[in-house]
Chains A and B, each alone.
Chain A
Amino acid sequence: MSDTPSHLQYTAEHEWIEAGSPATVGITATAAEALGDIVYLELPEVGAAITAGAVIGEVESTKSVSELFSPVTGTVVEVNTAAVDEPSVVNAEPYGAGWLLKVEVESTGPLLTPEEYAALAAG
């Protein structure tokens, strides 16, 4: 069973967000495992205004592709270019070196607690 770090918040679409200024966004271990080996990330550019619940990118594996939904409304201030160059890091460390975006948050969408997300991911 995938781990669900207790210091993060989650979306029903399998993103995580770590509160902060800026906040950090990634996809969960459950999502990464379901996709298989990730070979391509399409992420918004630095400076892009993103809206909670909107599609802001794509995560593609050999087997399938998944859209990336923004957990928050705000402005992208940093993109993990190392992950774009070598997407396997998202499989290896989805909560660490495989983070995707840093965002200055204006407001958040509906977020799940670790317990709520773990229940959803197990279901």
Chain B
Amino acid sequence: MNDDAPTIESPLHAEHVALGATLVPFAGWSMPLRYSSDLAEHQAVRSAAGLFDLSHMGELHLDGPGAGAALDHALVGNLTALAVGRARYTMIVAEDGGIIDDLIVYRLGDESYLVVANASNVAVVAQELAARSAGFDAVLTDRSLDTALIAVQGPAAAEIVVGLTDPAAADAVRELKYYASTSATVGGVAALVARTGYTGEDGFELFVPAAEAPGLWRTILAAGQPHGLVPAGLAARDSLRLEAGMPLYGNELDRTTAPHDAGLGRVVKLDKPGPFVGREALASRAHATPSRVLVGLVGSGRRAARHGYPVVTSTADDAPVIGSVTSGAPSPTLGVPVAMAYVSPEVSAPDTELAVDIRGRREPVRVVALPFYRRSH
């Protein structure tokens, strides 16, 4: 990332400024870190609802008779097998199996797919998709800049979004399955409504034309307020996804990591018809013992492990390093420090007692199965 490059403003920039958000540079964009309080925003999403601007995410459309086959070749998933109206969590990897990005692919029609990429990786994903789909009858269009993405997440999300949906589509939105999408008019705006999210709660993601986003944002804020909805920033998004055990590209996932390392071997469809980029490398990984395993760690004290801190076998000063923390924070919901880390397989079983070197002091942690938090409602 070039630090001197001008940052891109979200179509909702003026809304964030009006709400007094703290704006930070994020993957080339200027985005809200928080509006008032990280904790209050986090807790609102767990107990009521939060409204997120995710317009920095990339929207890449692939259309044409060969679109599905092109994605089967370009990605690790089986996208021709995806039903129209459904979505899949998948990945694009390099020839060596290293993860270029994790993606959500929506099948919008027989010959129409939407690939949602992380903001930091949109350019490389677009470049790779263009190169990998070159031999197929499909057209790639990057609509990242003219698409706004607004997420409504939390137990009250369905009531809020359904309440704003045109009556003709309200039932379809109410009954929308997790990882499914439908076209609907919400708050008077034609939207692609998806039941997806990154918080561990029920919720929706609304893809709308950038020019329509500010009006829809204000409509949802006003309609959601009686339900306890608040605008929520990137800080809350990160602590929510960590509690939900969801990986973040750049932390749990990167070019040196294969899907199997992250416990996500299930997204690799080795049995799909035809070759795909990275297949050979991933086929050999599928049956090999991984050199490291992604685990959850829960601390007993107050100090939280953070990205890059060494995981050691015990609190003893001479205990050897057996892993590295990828994400960590004091969990607002659980009230204890939580972290994700890559560790050696022999110490990856739940209830294994380990320690993390937190700025020179070794704090005890226990291995737990992910996620840390699972919603009950």
Contacts and interface: CB of A to CB of B under 8 A. Distances in A.
A104 interface: no
A33 B39 contact: no
A36 B235 contact: yes
A15 interface: no
B37 interface: yes
A75 to B, nearest CB: 23
A37 interface: yes
Contacts of B33: 36, 63
A78 B239 CA distance: 33
Given A62-B235, A63-B235, A63-B238, A39 B330 contact: yes
A13 interface: no
Contacts, number: 46
A62 B330 contact: yes
Interface string A4-34: 0000000000000000000000000000010
Most chain A CB neighbours (cut-off 10 Å) among B40, B42, B330:
B330
B303 A63 contact: no
A33 B22 contact: yes
B22 A63 contact: no
Interface range on chain B: under 10, 10 to 19, 20 to 34, or 35 or more? Answer: 10 to 19
Given A36-B34, A37-B37, A65 B306 contact: yes
A62 B239 contact: yes
B332 A40 contact: no
A80 interface: no
A60 B336 CA distance: 13
A58 to B, nearest CB: 7
B375 interface: no
B302 A62 contact: no
A65 B22 contact: no
A63 B38 contact: yes
A73 interface: no
A45 B39 CA distance: 28
Interface of B: 22, 33-34, 37-40, 42, 235, 238-239, 302-304, 306, 329-330, 332, 359
Given A40-B330, A62-B239, 15 more contacts: A33-B22, A36-B33, A36-B34, A58-B303, A60-B302, A60-B303, A60-B304, A62-B329, A62-B332, A63-B33, A63-B38, A63-B238, A64-B306, A65-B306, A67-B359
